[in-house]
Amino acid sequence: MMVMRSDRHSLILGCVLGFLVLLGGCHGGSLNKNFYRKSCPLAEEIVRNATWRHVAANIALPARFLRMHFHDCFVRGCDGSVLLNSTKNNTAEKEAIPNLTLAGFDVIDDIKAEVEKKCPGVVSCADILALAARDSVSFQFKRSMWKVLTGRRDGTVSLASEALANIPSPFLNFTALQQNFANKGLSVRDLVVLSGAHTIGVGHCNAFSVRLYNFTGKGDQDPSLNSTYAASLKNQCKNLTDNTTFVPMDPITPLSFDTRYFTVLRQRRGLFESDAALLTNPNSASITQEMLNSRRFFKSFRTSIKRMGAISVLTGKSGEIRKVCSKIN
Ligand code: HEM
Ligand SMILES: *[C@@H]1O[C@H](CO)[C@@H](O)[C@H](O)[C@H]1NC(C)=O
Ligand SMILES: *[C@@H]1O[C@H](CO)[C@@H](O)[C@H](O)[C@H]1NC(C)=O
Ligand SMILES: *[C@@H]1O[C@H](CO)[C@@H](O)[C@H](O)[C@H]1NC(C)=O
Ligand SMILES: *[C@@H]1O[C@H](CO)[C@@H](O)[C@H](O)[C@H]1NC(C)=O
Ligand SMILES: *[C@@H]1O[C@H](CO)[C@@H](O)[C@H](O)[C@H]1NC(C)=O
Ligand SMILES: *[C@@H]1O[C@H](CO)[C@@H](O)[C@H](O)[C@H]1NC(C)=O
Ligand SMILES: *[C@@H]1O[C@H](CO)[C@@H](O)[C@H](O)[C@H]1NC(C)=O
Ligand SMILES: *[C@@H]1O[C@H](CO)[C@@H](O)[C@H](O)[C@H]1NC(C)=O
Ligand SMILES: CC(=O)N[C@H]1CO[C@H](CO)[C@@H](O)[C@@H]1O
């Protein structure tokens, strides 16, 4: 008991010092639970209803929104910058190569419009995206799968070059992935747990077909890839440059948010080199095993996505509350 209490005190002290030094605060910058309680009490309910209505009509949306939230947070923090359109003099994040297959922007604009009708100029696009990612994934469970703190504000800058520099490529090895996540204050555990998002959604052939056809430049196959699975992938992806065909990342339950990503990963059926890389480090490999347990995965995902959702957020008087998510005010 004494140990626990003193640990908690030093944690609080650390937070206070951190707050003074960084003007940041603890656990999620200065995000709050139900930030819009007074200013727009129905905000979260409007977002959830609208998101569920859209997901009921388009089952691909949960994967889209979850990935979009990740891309938003890894470039300039979770500030809605991924949602901005390019302008005459600026090429936005949306246009960057890793974003080529992002989609669902129109749906976010639509959800924002519904929120604006009730509370104009109050709810940020960054918060709407964080909520929509949670709510879309939660649709299959008919309950919220994780808490989303709110109070993010919207950024005014979106640069394609920054997306290229910050979003991890599917060709990275373990060391590079670890570094990429560490740059955002995320741990190896966060890396493994959040990669579990690949339990839903698809990957285009060109993001992995080098593993099938030319792994070391000698027309060979990646030896770490399950050869039965490789044969079935080759049936779908006929050449190295095919960027139109796509396959599910979790071939067992592609639409279900569950632990199957880890099941297939451990059968050497992870789709990308970045997935397979999680088995190349003893610590991360052991976390992939732990994540086979659903309760542990859901619990860990709650923790890690909260950490991701707090990366370099704009709060207080920084940034703005956009009127339309695809353009600055
Ligand atoms: C660890 C580093 C990661 C890499 C290298 C990576 C890479 C990729 C790639 C290449 C795709 C396929 C895009 C396509 O070809 O259409 C993809 C899809 C996806 N990623 Fe990741 N990703 C990573 C981490 C994450 C994280 C942290 C999340 C969310 C928490 C996430 C969520 C998704 C989702 C949901 C999809 C499916 C999108 C869809 O079907 O529309 N990824 N990722
Ligand atoms: C959201 O949907 C529920 C269930 O259909 C409904 O009772 C509620 O009034 C809706 N809330 C808003 C803000 O539209
Ligand atoms: C782009 O040009 C507009 C005016 O045409 C200007 O207001 C804006 O600041 C410019 N943006 C950037 C990123 O240079
Ligand atoms: C991982 O990739 C980096 C960057 O491409 C490279 O420098 C490094 O040697 C690789 N590490 C291993 C263990 O292959
Ligand atoms: C395979 O990679 C090697 C080395 O990078 C390259 O010379 C060759 O053209 C590639 N093969 C194909 C089919 O692209
Ligand atoms: C590669 O495959 C795609 C899809 O099947 C096809 O459209 C494209 O022409 C092929 N490219 C080459 C170089 O064979
Ligand atoms: C696919 O590749 C073709 C040929 O390289 C290119 O013109 C096209 O823009 C690419 N499409 C996508 C969606 O990346
Ligand atoms: C390859 O995948 C199959 C399932 O398709 C699995 O039964 C087998 O154990 C896997 N092989 C390896 C080496 O993991
Ligand atoms: C942003 O681009 C999308 C797709 O091109 C378009 O539908 C939307 O109207 C644009 N938003 C604004 C504010 O122009
Ligand atoms: C979804 C989306 O905005 N995709 C864009 C990605 O970038 C290309 C140009 O490089 C655009 O044509 C797409 O519209």
Which sequence spans correspond to the domains of the chain?
5-166, 174-306
Q: Which residue has the tokens 């000698």?
A: 218
Of the chain, the percentage scoring pLDDT greater than 70 comes to 91
Rounded CA gap, 247 and 202, in Å?
A: 5
Which ligand lies nearest the alpha carbon of 50?
Answer: 2
pLDDT at 10: 39
Q: Above 50 in pLDDT, residue 11?
A: no
According to CATH, the topology of domain 174-306 is Peroxidase; domain 2 (1.10.420)
Q: Amino acid identity, residue 72?
A: D
Q: Which two tokens stand for residue 24?
A: 């940041």
**What's the mean pLDDT in 103-113?**
95
pLDDT at 103: 84
Residues 6+ apart with CB under 8 A from 68: 82, 83, 102, 104, 105, 108, 129, 133
Q: Is 173 in the pocket of ligand 4 (CB under 6 A)?
A: yes
Reported as a single tens digit per residue, the pLDDT across 275-313 is 999 999 999 999 999 999 999 999 999 999 999 999 999
pLDDT at 3: 35
Reported as a single tens digit per residue, the pLDDT across 152-180 is 999 999 999 999 999 999 999 999 999 99
Nearest residue to 198 via CA among 274, 142, 309, 136: 274
Q: Which two tokens stand for residue 177?
A: 């992935």
Q: Above 50 in pLDDT, residue 16?
A: no
pLDDT at 19: 40
Q: Tell me which CATH code domain 5-166 carries.
A: 1.10.520.10
90 forms bridges with which residues in the sheet? 87
Question: Which atom of ligand 4 is least distant from the CA of 173?
Answer: 1
Residue of the CA atom closest to atom 9 of ligand 10: 95
Q: Is 252 in the pocket of ligand 4 (CB under 6 A)?
A: no
**What's the mean pLDDT in 22-31?**
53
Do the domains at 5-166 and 174-306 have one common CATH topology? no
Reported as a single tens digit per residue, the pLDDT across 194-204 is 999 999 999 99
Q: Which residue has the tokens 């770490």?
A: 224
Rounded CA gap, 104 and 56, in Å?
A: 14
CA of 239 to the centre of ligand 6 (A): 6
Of the chain, the percentage scoring pLDDT greater than 90 comes to 89
Residue of the CA atom closest to atom 9 of ligand 5: 217
Which ligand lies nearest the alpha carbon of 224?
Answer: 8
Q: Above 80 in pLDDT, residue 17?
A: no
CA of 46 to the centre of ligand 2 (A): 7
CA of 57 to the centre of ligand 6 (A): 31
Q: Is 245 in the pocket of ligand 1 (CB under 6 A)?
A: no
pLDDT at 29: 58
**Active site residue ranges:** 71
pLDDT at 27: 41
pLDDT at 98: 77
Reported as a single tens digit per residue, the pLDDT across 43-96 is 999 999 999 999 999 999 999 999 999 999 999 999 999 999 999 999 999 999
Q: Above 80 in pLDDT, residue 182?
A: yes
Give the DSSP letter of residue 324.
Answer: B
CA of 269 to the centre of ligand 8 (A): 8
pLDDT at 202: 97
Which residue from 45, 116, 138 has its CB within 8 A of the most atoms of ligand 2, so it is best to mutate?
A: 45
Q: Above 50 in pLDDT, residue 26?
A: no
Q: Which residue has the tokens 């639970």?
A: 33
